[in-house]
Copies of this chain bind each other. A is one copy, B any other.
């Protein structure tokens, strides 16, 4: 199935990647791999500040991770030009701003993993690590980075 039709049926609209205000970029391609920068939790272009285990529930965290995955798709579209050329989501790394007690980083990350599987089916199923960090840039509650594989146009 065409990935853009799939996105439409899921009600997902892609957005342009934010341009970092520094000496780095949202993605770099090397051979068949594309490395995506860590994308921070946002709503209406504003950072979603907070910490899991302290006022943000696991279910809310999973929704945040799903929204980051949508932002990552926007960056992937900009990187590849045509999402139908994506051959595999290779690796997802999920960094969750966590209290010392919060231990459901994997359930938060599922929000992103599930979306990628919905959009790309088997090609969206990936290797993954999730862990709790002490703090994130601008106080964001979640940060996710990706490595994907593409095939020639």
Contact = CB atoms under 8 A, between A and B. Distances in A.
Given A88-B28, A90-B28, A127-B37, A104 B137 contact: yes
Interface in A89-109: 89-93, 95, 98-106
B105 A137 contact: yes
A134 B137 contact: no
A31 B30 CA distance: 11
A106 to B, nearest CB: 4
B130 A137 contact: yes
Given A23-B125, A24-B126, A124-B23, A103 B135 contact: yes
Given A100-B135, A129-B143, A133-B134, A114 B35 contact: no
23 contacts: A22-B113, A23-B114, A24-B127, A25-B126, A26-B127, A28-B127, A30-B32, A30-B33, A31-B32, A31-B149, A35-B90, A38-B128, A38-B129, A38-B130, A95-B129, A102-B135, A103-B137, A104-B137, A106-B137, A130-B137, A131-B135, A133-B133, A133-B134
Interface of A: 20, 22-28, 30-33, 35-38, 51, 88-93, 95, 98-106, 110, 113-114, 116-117, 124-139, 143, 145, 147, 149
Given A22-B106, A23-B124, A132-B135, 20 more contacts: A22-B113, A23-B125, A24-B113, A24-B126, A30-B90, A31-B32, A31-B149, A37-B127, A37-B129, A38-B130, A93-B129, A95-B129, A98-B135, A99-B135, A103-B135, A103-B136, A103-B138, A106-B137, A131-B133, A132-B133
